[in-house]
Amino acid sequence: ALRLSYLRAGGHDPAILDQLLHLQLEAAVLEKGATGPRRGRKMAEPSSTGTGDLDVALLAVELENWRLEDELLALKVRREKRADAGLRVAQRHSEELAQLQAEVGMLRCHSEQTGTQLPPPVAPPL
């Protein structure tokens, strides 16, 4: 939950993500030790059936999967932020364009009422 909160808030520091991943691994190991069939057994002690190696491999695969999910989420958050920023810029430009068009319309109306003629528009130099 902490990792997801950090990513959703825009966090993307690899060192912090690595620390959060290690904390998650440590929590998973502790949880697995607390829910295992023999609670008194040490985690580093290999089992006689060889399932300890499979558990470690499975945990490593799960951690890699979580890391990749974190990366995907971070990429999605960054993409959404860029899209939102682009949308805000486009909205601001369209608002400015509408305001300028309204001002031009008012100037035309004013010039028609007063009988003066506006000079033709001049494009700015490139």
In a domain, 118, yes or no: no
In a domain, 18, yes or no: yes
Distance CA 39, CA 82 (A): 49
CA distances from 37 to 10, 21, 32, 40, 41 (A): 40, 26, 10, 9, 9
Q: State the total domains in the chain.
A: 1
In a domain, 119, yes or no: no
Question: What is the average pLDDT across 39-50?
Answer: 44
Q: Is pLDDT of 25 > 70?
A: yes
Distance CA 11, CA 62 (A): 22
Element (H or E) spanning 38, and its range? none
pLDDT tens, position by position, 91-113: 898 999 999 999 998 888 888 88
- The pLDDT confidence band at residue 125, using thresholds 50, 70 and 90, is confident
What DSSP character marks residue 36? S
State the pTM of this model. 0.40
Domain of 23 in residue numbering reads as 1-33+57-112
